[in-house]
Structure 1
């Protein structure tokens, strides 16, 4: 495991432009969905992050062509893929590895995988995924840490209704429905932009999908598969994280590739906090307007405020004037960054899934530990404005989802160094 650490000298001017990478949360299900057709897949704007490399390793293990990511481009065939068991050593690295389950069942009629790993941010059951597969005619067996699914006669279209929206389960349902005979209706879907992006890929592959991005999706299963050229949409979480960086440092920043329509309620909340956001020819411009103001936030599914931005927003609120309340309603253990921010001088009181943040106006450099992917970014943001030096350990979490974070920040004027241990 990579044990690099980041050392940041805080308080330096921050300006210029930063290129947003492709969305990890779209790239991973797109790569998983490539299993279905057994055809050639040509992808652009693929983020160069650890999770993508883990997914490529998983596909190669199953027999896909070895793909080399270069300048955001990938080209590979899954024609020679087999349906062998997916080993725990690969599955444990990231939860998104579970997304190969539906495509494997859809193509081979069976799959046997280990339960997934990933960030330790609370209980994220796979029940919705498995129920979707069962609704389409699959049989599911659970044996300790192993999940086996069989559909020897193939998947059949049906009506899938989720008790609550789930991004991962919506991806699973769409991929399974793309391989099923007939039409499938998926109700109470997640509406994130990444859902629509994966639907566009599945449509190019051979399925017919309507309603992606709404609460109700209809999928007509593919009768044949095609080679695909597809461009991954920009990463809205990375874009919003840089919006927050501009506000915290007091700089002006152009976020190349950022899109207003992908920000949802986050745009309104960030503007209420004192961030000016407006479109540019290449994406978005961001800067602070006056003093930062405290704003209450509750995480929700899209278009609500995203849980993946909660830690970064908390770092922002630590510098705001007043007191803010942040409620986490998506994951039950996503406040592990709180004690690390407190080490840097934050005044945060946690009560279950609610955090009360009193603005302190200044962070102080400290040795801190990253606990998950998004928490890592909150510590980087705090380090950029802290008085003195901040050292962030276990940045492999950060590398799972943010492409070339230290390089991008240095090009904007940050004093940040990566040190290999």
Structure 2
């Protein structure tokens, strides 16, 4: 068991560089299965989800070499085989192997996906798309088997009943080598979808419209190798911006794409956060006074659900009362009782969060219930007087690259301890 120990009350100062996007790279790595040649990814974050994906790729027969933040994958030796359940069950993004294996082999047998418990997260939209493209699904123990009976997938017009990043990307992966044209209507528009489409097009695919609500894919016979730079992680960037506003005395966050964070930054400005936004960085000043605001999450370009929890501790510094409503994941309230244990004036009303500030936080023993809740507790620990111990830190290490070293370099007293 690992835990993070934070001695709070120390101001952050300096510069932090944002790593490559976790939500991109967990789709980019499975996408490489579709290539017949070597693909290199630059800007790959050092997170446990990446380590799990590398293990899975190697079990399938890929050759993987890692050098710093570069990852070279030769997928030529990949075979169609059942995926190892333990690794598959450890991360949500394992479902991207459905699309990539269907696209390459016309079949896939993959364990049911795991990841954070955020309430109902069905994959019915993925399966609906695969079935429209000619796949048939059966369950085999803890795995799902998809087959096209040797025919391979074909193009189709697919309407997404709800906006889904995962289903949009998975459909793209299955479609790039399909026979004919695939049209995805009501597609998600997140930057990570554009990133995956860019990789696929650099490999020789014909994907058009990524970033809009209609994506068109003309199937091709083969995809080739390429080199691709992973986009910056907008959720990591937002997390460090919120930390800097909460406990910083002048922090510069670099490798930031402002257009990916417009909804988030607009809310910070509404609070009164003092910062300077540049082309690829955000400088956050020491804050004097903040006012309470209401937040409602929405699909991109709205306020990202993944930033709802990381901004919550900052809201606790604001004067007044506010509400947070997460319209994407109903169980994204599990950080609330942990923050209350630290003295926060915060509670849940159904699936809404109500808070009143400013709250003076004190150190406590708390538990990360999911990835972004863990990030919220790290920020709260930095804000609190005294020592905070966070358990279940495996969630945090799934998505934040080198978070301990990055915060130490800013002046935090933080340690990762093995019990």
Q: TM-score range by the shorter chain?
A: over 0.9
The answer on whether the counterparts of 2:366 and 2:390 sit within 8 Å (CA) in structure 1 is yes
State the TM-score, normalizing by the size of structure 1. Answer: 0.97
Indicate how the Cα distance of structure 1 residues 281 and 107 shifts in structure 2: closer, same or farther if over 3 A, else same: closer
Q: Which residue of 1 aligns with 2:296?
A: 298
Give the Cα–Cα distance (whole angstroms) in 2 for the partners of residues 50 and 399 of structure 1: 6
Name the SS of the counterpart of 2:33 in structure 1: coil
Query: What's the CA shift for 1:144?
Result: 5.5
**Match for residue 417 of structure 1 among 398, 415, 418:** 415
Query: What's the CA shift for 1:133?
Result: 0.7
**Match for residue 20 of structure 1 among 14, 18, 21:** 18
2:125 maps to 1:140? no
Q: Name which of structure 1's ranges 20-29 and 354-363 shifts more when overlaid on structure 2.
A: 354-363
**Match for residue 70 of structure 2 among 69, 73, 77:** 73
The answer on whether the counterparts of 2:257 and 2:279 sit within 8 Å (CA) in structure 1 is no
Query: What's the CA shift for 1:174?
Result: 0.8
**Match for residue 149 of structure 1 among 146, 150, 161:** 146
The answer on whether the counterparts of 1:21 and 1:235 sit within 8 Å (CA) in structure 2 is yes
Name the SS of the counterpart of 2:179 in structure 1: coil
2:93 maps to 1:93? no
Name the SS of the counterpart of 2:274 in structure 1: strand
**Match for residue 391 of structure 2 among 393, 396, 410:** 393
Question: What's the CA shift string for 1:183-227, capped at 9, x where partnerless?
Answer: 111111111110000000010112111111111111111232111
Give the Cα–Cα distance (whole angstroms) in 2 for the partners of residues 33 and 343 of structure 1: 42
Indicate how the Cα distance of structure 1 residues 136 and 329 shifts in structure 2: closer, same or farther if over 3 A, else same: same
Give the Cα–Cα distance (whole angstroms) in 1 for the partners of residues 363 and 340 of structure 2: 11
Query: What's the CA shift for 1:9?
Result: 1.0
Name the SS of the counterpart of 2:66 in structure 1: coil
Query: What's the CA shift for 1:284?
Result: 2.0
Give the Cα–Cα distance (whole angstroms) in 2 for the partners of residues 226 and 329 of structure 1: 40
Indicate how the Cα distance of structure 1 residues 216 and 276 shifts in structure 2: closer, same or farther if over 3 A, else same: farther
Taking the TM superposition and a 5 Å limit, the aligned residue runs for 1:28-47 are 28-47=26-45
Give the Cα–Cα distance (whole angstroms) in 1 for the partners of residues 152 and 285 of structure 2: 53
Query: What's the CA shift for 1:279?
Result: 3.1
Give the Cα–Cα distance (whole angstroms) in 2 for the partners of residues 332 and 241 of structure 1: 21
- What CA RMSD, in Å, does the superposition of the two structures yield over aligned residues? 1.3
Q: Which residue of 2 aligns with 1:345?
A: 343
Give the Cα–Cα distance (whole angstroms) in 2 for the partners of residues 149 and 277 of structure 1: 50
Give the Cα–Cα distance (whole angstroms) in 1 for the partners of residues 394 and 288 of structure 2: 35
Question: What's the CA shift string for 1:62-83, capped at 9, x where partnerless?
Answer: 1111x24332101120001000
Query: What's the CA shift for 1:164?
Result: 1.0
Query: What's the CA shift for 1:26?
Result: 0.4
**Match for residue 120 of structure 1 among 90, 104, 117:** 117
Query: What's the CA shift for 1:392?
Result: 0.9
The answer on whether the counterparts of 2:97 and 2:110 sit within 8 Å (CA) in structure 1 is no
Q: Which residue of 1 aligns with 2:57?
A: 59
Query: What's the CA shift for 1:4?
Result: 1.6
Runs (5+) with no aligned partner, structure 1? none
Query: What's the CA shift for 1:288?
Result: 4.6
Give the Cα–Cα distance (whole angstroms) in 1 for the partners of residues 99 and 257 of structure 2: 30
Taking the TM superposition and a 5 Å limit, the aligned residue runs for 1:190-205 are 190-205=188-203
**Match for residue 263 of structure 1 among 261, 264, 269:** 261
Indicate how the Cα distance of structure 1 residues 161 and 80 shifts in structure 2: closer, same or farther if over 3 A, else same: same
Runs (5+) with no aligned partner, structure 2? none
